[in-house]
Amino acid sequence: ALSLREACFDKPCYRLVFGDSDGLPGLVIDRYFDIFVVQISTAGMEAVVDEIISALNKVFTPQAIVLRCDGKMRSTEGLESYIEVAQGEVPELCPFEENGVPLLAPVLTGQKTGWFYDHRNNRAAMQKHVKGKRVLDLFSYVGGWGVQALAAGATEVMCVDASESALDVALENARLNNAEDRFVALQGDAFDACKELIQEQEKFDVVIVDPPAFIQRRKDIKNGERAYTRINNLAMRLLDRNGVLVSASCSMHLERARLIDIIRANARELDRTAQIFDQGHQGADHPVHPAIPETDYLKSFCVRVLPSS
């Protein structure tokens, strides 16, 4: 696992182990320099947790190892949830770097391991289109997209998230990049926030839509597609003339072609023309196992939305 990451990344900030794709089903390990955050989702991996910690100490010299064993899958395996610092000391906000941008992650209290490395390449693609632009980052969490937009020269970024604590970390990330004065936080439901912004006739040059998985299981596909349709429609309505929509999905059950269809249908409904000029996948630290389709789950599109005439 390490040899692949060292071949692909120049800084030790990445997903070190991606479950089945690295031959370690039920195990995820994210690396933040010398702090390692371990997620275990199966009883088999839970049975060898001491060996996992021993292997990390053998291959690396960890400053700290955190066990974030609180994922939804554990209950189906009959496992209890817990968060534990297995060794060392962990700061409240853990420093790391992505796309050359210094950042902080709440590895003990945030979602999953504290950060989502999978969109690294897509955020880098987004950075090319935000200089001098006003940006809206929906479902922003701790500012993964928004703060990197600020670092790339956006004149203003509004981060929208339901979590006040996540927005507090996003502000810290903006401050770390000397961009606090260009950062705006809006706490609340993204759908409601978009409706309010539309009512206030707000416009943005770039709108980023990277929601949590609206489709957790196959039976959720219909309702989930409806949610993706609604949020992409609202996002397009907030775009200024010739604006750019970044539309992403981490739902394994939403096919890439279906998200393209949702983008197309919304543009048509709003009497716009959509041009997809960049398409993204998950980064190299989330390798795809060719025999396991579920490991190929991430989709991202950069879309220019033009008036139809």
Q: Are residues 35 and 132 in the same domain?
A: no
Q: Spell out the SS3 assignment of 170-207.
A: HHHHHHHCCCHHHEEEEECCHHHHHHHHHHCCCCEEEE
* 127 found inside a domain: yes
In a domain? residue 100: no
Instruction: Please indicate, yes or no, whether residues 74 and 126 belong to a single structural domain of this protein.
Output: no
Same domain, residue pair 225 and 302: yes
Q: Evaluate whether residue 75 is within a structural domain.
A: yes
170 shares its domain with 139 = yes
Q: Judge whether 95 lies within some domain.
A: no
| Domain annotation covers residue 106 | no
Residues 23 and 122 in one domain: no
Are residues 53 and 163 part of one domain?
A: no
| Judgement on whether residues 64 and 118 belong to the same structural domain of the protein | no
pLDDT, residue 155, reads 98
The whole-angstrom separation of Cα 157 and Cα 62 is 35
* 129 and 206 co-located in one domain: yes
Q: Give the CATH number, domain containing residue 299.
A: 3.40.50.150
Residues 222 and 263 in one domain: yes
Helix/strand/coil (H, E, C) string of the chain? CHHHHHHHCCCCEEEEEEHHHHCCCCEEEEEECCEEEEEECCHHHHCCHHHHHHHHHHHCCCCEEEEEECCCHHHHCCCCCEEEEEEECCCCCEEEEECCEEEEECCCCCCCCCCCHHHHHHHHHHHCCCCCCEEEEECCCCCHHHHHHHHCCCCEEEEEECCHHHHHHHHHHHHHCCCHHHEEEEECCHHHHHHHHHHCCCCEEEEEECCCCCCCCHHHHHHHHHHHHHHHHHHHHCEEEEEEEEEEECCCCCCHHHHHHHHHHHHHHCCEEEEEEEEECCCCCCCCCCCCHHHCCCEEEEEEEEECC
Which of 88, 120, 142 delimits the end of a domain?
88
Catalytic residues: 250
Claim to verify: residue 194 and residue 231 sit in the same structural domain: yes
**Residue 68 belongs to domain with CATH number:** 3.30.750.80
**Looking at the domain assignment, is residue 105 inside a domain?**
no
- Residue 149 sits in the same domain as residue 260: yes
- Boundary residue ending a domain (56, 88, 120): 88
Check residue 256 and give its pLDDT: 95
Per-residue pLDDT of the chain (309 residues; tens, 9 = 90+): 999 999 999 999 999 999 999 999 999 999 999 999 999 999 999 999 999 999 999 999 999 999 999 988 898 899 999 999 999 999 999 999 999 999 999 999 999 999 999 999 999 999 999 999 999 999 999 999 999 999 999 999 999 999 999 999 999 999 999 999 999 999 999 999 999 999 999 999 999 999 998 888 888 889 989 999 999 999 999 999 999 999 999 999 999 999 999 999 999 999 999 999 999 999 999 999 999 999 999 999 999 999 986
Domain count, the chain: 2
The residue among 88, 120, 138 that closes a domain is 88
How high is the pLDDT of residue 114? Answer: 97
For residue 237, being part of any structural domain is answered with yes
Domain that holds residue 83: 2-88
The pTM (predicted TM-score) of the whole model is 0.95
Do 70 and 116 belong together in one domain?
no
In a domain, 255, yes or no: yes
